[in-house]
Structure 1
Amino acid sequence: MRCLFPAVFIVLVTTGVANPAAAGPQEAALKHAIERFQPHRASYELTLERARSSDVSAASGQLSFEWADACDGWTVRQLTRMEVSRGQEPSLDFGWRFDSWEAKDGTSYRFFIDRFDHGRKSETISGRASLQAVGKAGTAHFDEPVERDVPLPAGTIFPTWHSYEMIAMAEAGQQQIWRTVFDGSADDDGLSEVSAVRSDGKKPVAAPKVGADLLAGLEAHRIFLAYYSTDPSRSEPVHEQEVLIYGNGVADDFVFDYGDFALRARLVELEALPKPKC
């Protein structure tokens, strides 16, 4: 999951022209989304949803996700592991740990990512980034794997702010937003172009079997996300997601589409995290 919710303002970055369908959510809706957010810890079971290639015979995994209030910002911790069986080929066993901190005003961000292959660490990515203001230009500094600075284009936002915008988009009845999101994990210097499309209107959801005390009676919205490279020569999405997002920020029923196969993530544990005394 890209931090979920695994992505500037009024401009459609891929064309450089204003696009009403991709404009940001109204300020009141955004403020409401931030106020309703529930810090939480969640666990998901991953199962094979579909395979488009005969090379993939089975897939499974686990995902744990924590979104906590750190007073001056939001911390996100994600741990994912996937196993994919590929017929006569060796199976794949991979995963990642993602830790980040994002200032509540959306202008500063720190990230630390470990990637694993068959239980062994294969790569570490870490660094920090800042923006002049939400949706303005900025700079990212990578400490690992190679120390370097990367300019962030005007319109960039960080992952937690993107999550707020998606919830606000859905709550306000808006159909789509298009954002440039920096989370540090993508191949294109940590940047992705992200299209988020709401598939239906506000919709009460039956009381869930997991986390009913946090989710019962809340409206939820199904959102489709497509992550694109910042390289304009690559027109197809790098990967796609479908997710059910509740008004308090909790997510369930993901589909991660990697092309040859897709995984579905279902919520199996959910607990509220206390808000700190700041």
Structure 2
Amino acid sequence: MHPLRKPPVETIMTVRMTPALAAAGITAITMMSSPVAADNLVSHKAVYHLLPGPISGQVPYDGVEGLVTRSVERTCDGWIVAEHMVMHILTRVGGVIDREIRFTSWEAADGTRYRFAATIKSKAGDEDTRLKGRLEVAREGAGGEAVYAEPDGKKVTIPEDTYLPVGQVRKLLAAARAGEKQVRFHVFDGTEDIGPQLMSSVITGRFKAGEGKGLQTAWGPLGTGPGWRVSSAYFETTGTQPQSTPSFQFTMELLDNGVPRRMEMDLGGFVVIQALKEIHPLPEPNCG
């Protein structure tokens, strides 16, 4: 994911909030032995606009539009993340580049097991890209090896201090609440072309409930609560050393409940904004 120095449009094809981040984004208060019991991350379904931000330099793109639908659902033993992105990139010569991405994953509550699948479609005649695989590690953040069923036989080495999509959100929030200003760790969701990347994040400030850009009362506390402003950069790693130039950078409003409300992704002269449009709670599991 986010290959270094690829053309911005190709980077956009694979950018997602891990939650953020997808987030991004998308997206834990304490790193306790039972994350499901310890965090206040909420099950939800959200829809985001994709909007153009500032454009600078000699990039061949004139704008972007689209929608991202993302659900994050707690189960009795982990989390299910599902995402559907439809994106249209406008070129300066009047063309349109279309992409559609579907992604699903299941992540164990303790961060030791992970399954993922993704399909990337293009209307330009390119062959669909399909990814499917799994990962098991001894403990959350431990190194290991991801094994792919699609493409068959592909294996990716996972370095120590690598976190999965939900674990990334927990770790960021835990660092913010502990008063840390900067946090660095590797991230992996299975869609990376070259394996995990190093994410270096600076927690730039706290915002109160009701503060932020473009808030809507219809979101309720789920989308208007307090949270943190985070600036992050992603770096490819060669061996154990990260590259000096980031693959891409973003700023994010990350709520205390794990919802990434807004992300601005700088892809090198081309900024894509992912802004919350609507959000709804999903039922929490009855695990007995």
What secondary structure does 2:172 align onto?
Answer: helix
The normalised TM-score by structure 1 is: 0.84
Match of 2:227 in 1: 220
Q: Distance in 1 between the 2:35 and 2:75 partners? A: 19
Q: What percentage of residue pairs aligned between the two structures are identical?
A: 27
Match of 1:163 in 2: 169
Written as runs of structure 1 = structure 2, the 5 A alignment for 1:83-94 is 83-88=88-93, 90-94=95-99
1:113 counterpart = 2:128? no
Match of 1:69 in 2: 74
Written as runs of structure 1 = structure 2, the 5 A alignment for 1:203-218 is 203-206=208-211, 208-209=215-216, 210-216=218-224, 218=225
CA contact (8 A) 1:33 1:168 kept: no
Q: Distance in 2 between the 1:213 and 1:238 partners? A: 34
Q: Distance in 1 between the 2:252 and 2:70 partners? A: 15
Written as runs of structure 1 = structure 2, the 5 A alignment for 1:2-41 is 2-6=17-21, 27=31, 34-41=38-45
User: After superposition, what is the alpha-carbon deviation per residue over 1:106-137, rounded to whole angstroms, capped at 9, x for unaligned?
Assistant: 00000001111128762001100011111222
The Cα of 1:206 is off from its aligned counterpart by: 3.5
User: After superposition, what is the alpha-carbon deviation per residue over 1:155-192, rounded to whole angstroms, capped at 9, x for unaligned?
Assistant: 22211111111112222221111111121111113x11
Written as runs of structure 1 = structure 2, the 5 A alignment for 1:248-263 is 248-263=257-272
What secondary structure does 2:283 align onto?
Answer: coil
Q: Distance in 2 between the 1:198 and 1:249 partners? A: 15
1:229 counterpart = 2:236? yes
Q: Distance in 1 between the 2:36 and 2:109 partners? A: 14
More displaced 10-residue stretch of structure 1: 75-84 or 199-208: 199-208
Give the unaligned 5+ runs of structure 1.
8-24
The partner residue of 2:197 within 177, 181, 192 is 192
The Cα of 1:103 is off from its aligned counterpart by: 0.1
Written as runs of structure 1 = structure 2, the 5 A alignment for 1:129-208 is 129-189=135-195, 191-201=196-206, 203-206=208-211, 208=215
CA contact (8 A) 1:33 1:164 kept: no
CA contact (8 A) 2:30 2:39 kept: no
Q: Distance in 1 between the 2:47 and 2:264 partners? A: 15
Q: Distance in 2 between the 1:83 and 1:123 partners? A: 18
The Cα of 1:89 is off from its aligned counterpart by: 6.4
Aligned residues: 259
The Cα of 1:31 is off from its aligned counterpart by: 6.1
What secondary structure does 2:192 align onto?
Answer: coil
| Amino acid of the structure 1 residue aligned with 2:268 | G
User: After superposition, what is the alpha-carbon deviation per residue over 1:62-118, rounded to whole angstroms, capped at 9, x for unaligned?
Assistant: 111100012111000111122111122642111311100000000000000111112
| Amino acid of the structure 1 residue aligned with 2:138 | Q
| Amino acid of the structure 2 residue aligned with 1:101 | W
- Are the structure 2 counterparts of residues 215 and 268 from structure 1 closer, same or farther at C-alpha, using a change threshold of 3 Å? closer
More displaced 10-residue stretch of structure 1: 249-258 or 103-112: 249-258
The partner residue of 2:280 within 236, 253, 271 is 271
- Are the structure 2 counterparts of residues 266 and 276 from structure 1 closer, same or farther at C-alpha, using a change threshold of 3 Å? same
Match of 1:14 in 2: none
Give the unaligned 5+ runs of structure 2.
1-15, 23-28
The normalised TM-score by structure 2 is: 0.82
More displaced 10-residue stretch of structure 1: 32-41 or 83-92: 32-41
What secondary structure does 1:274 align onto?
Answer: coil
What secondary structure does 1:177 align onto?
Answer: strand
CA contact (8 A) 2:163 2:186 kept: yes
Q: Distance in 2 between the 1:174 and 1:204 partners? A: 21
Q: Distance in 2 between the 1:277 and 1:44 partners? A: 29
CA contact (8 A) 2:35 2:110 kept: no
Q: Distance in 2 between the 1:34 and 1:115 partners? A: 35
